[in-house]
Amino acid sequence: MSAAEIAKRHFSAAIAEAEAVGLGHDSTCRALLGLVVSRYLESRGVADVQSELRFLADNCDPDTDFAFMRP
């Protein structure tokens, strides 16, 4: 089992549990993101975490190719 599969399973469970108690997925995603950033900061510098988040933000459009992809 890969790390992505484990994360996806737990993410889906957290979203389902939040929706079952009447919480929106938006607040749950924000809370999970905060936990991820906190964990990153335990072993990585602030600039490194910011760089990771910036890369994800800059490349989150599913209709746009990554800058390093060939046409």
pLDDT at 60: 86
Task: Taking residues 52-66, report their average pLDDT.
Answer: 85
Q: Which amino acid is at 41?
A: L
Task: Taking residues 3-24, report their average pLDDT.
Answer: 96
Distances (CA, A) of 10 to 4, 5, 38: 10, 9, 18
In angstroms and rounded to an integer, the radius of gyration of the C-alpha atoms of the chain is 15
Give the whole-angstrom CA distance, residue 11 versus residue 32.
8
Give the whole-angstrom CA distance, residue 10 versus residue 4.
10
With a cut of 60, say whether residue 15 has pLDDT above it. Answer: yes
Q: pLDDT category, 68, cuts 50, 70, 90? A: low
pLDDT at 69: 57
Q: Which amino acid is at 19?
A: E
Task: Taking residues 16-33, report their average pLDDT.
Answer: 96
